[in-house]
Structure 1
Amino acid sequence: MGIIWESIKHFYAYMAVIPVIPFLLIYFGYGAIIQDRKKAFRLAMDVTTALLIGCVAVLLDSLFHNSFGLYGILLFMLIGGGLLGNAQFRKRGSVNVKRIFRAVWRLGFFTMSMLYLLLMFIAIGQSIFSI
């Protein structure tokens, strides 16, 4: 069981290092199979979000020398879900949890993408200029 778990962890780590590659593989591969680019784009976003969350969490941990990265990301996603749920409840009188989860997850894709780029440039800059 330990070998399987280690293999899964290594596979995730390799895919999360450069999340553009899995995004493009899923987008073009799934898009070629189902012939629906919009659905393929959404699936690629959803899978890549999980990779970006892990990568951004590791970048936050290494840049700021703490271990709060993943918890901070999850905290912001939960707060965002709470705010969206509150807004939906006030507007419609009920809460559609699936819709809120999807909205938070997709907003997380864009947020994590921007954080990934920003933190990666900072990490590269630190490694180049720290002598």
Structure 2
Amino acid sequence: MTIDVMTIMIILSVHFIILSIWKESYLSYIFLCIFVVGFIFVIFYYRKKQELVIRKVLRSFWRINFFLFSLAYIFLIFFGIGKKIVEAI
């Protein structure tokens, strides 16, 4: 339950970090990225298991999103700090 809420929070955090760095909203691209990751994940899952158990697929997909957006969050934090330092020089 906690990871589900945190995934939503991290996705929104990535959106607002992007908004603060580039002053533009890329929320539609974030949703497109989530959709593409889900599509690719379902294809790989089906090839491996030869069946789709929706509950397991959704749980695994949500965890993958948590991992990917956590990496994006960390990267964007450091990128934003670096960009502000360069702008200050």
- What are the ranges of 5 or more consecutive residues in structure 2 without an aligned counterpart? none
Displaced runs of 4 or more, over 6 A: none
Kindly report the root-mean-square deviation, in angstroms, between the aligned alpha carbons of the 2 structures.
2.0
| Counterpart in the other structure of 1:60 | 18
Shift, 1:89, TM fit = 3.2
| Counterpart in the other structure of 2:36 | 79
CA–CA separation in structure 1 for the residues paired with 2:60 and 2:13: 21
| Counterpart in the other structure of 2:67 | 110
TM-score (norm 2): 0.76
CA–CA separation in structure 2 for the residues paired with 1:99 and 1:64: 36
Alignment length (residue pairs) = 88
Which amino acid is 1:74 matched to? F
TM-score (norm 1): 0.56
CA–CA separation in structure 2 for the residues paired with 1:111 and 1:129: 27
CA–CA separation in structure 2 for the residues paired with 1:113 and 1:88: 22
Percent identity of paired positions between Structure 1 and Structure 2: 28
- What are the ranges of 5 or more consecutive residues in structure 1 without an aligned counterpart? 1-42
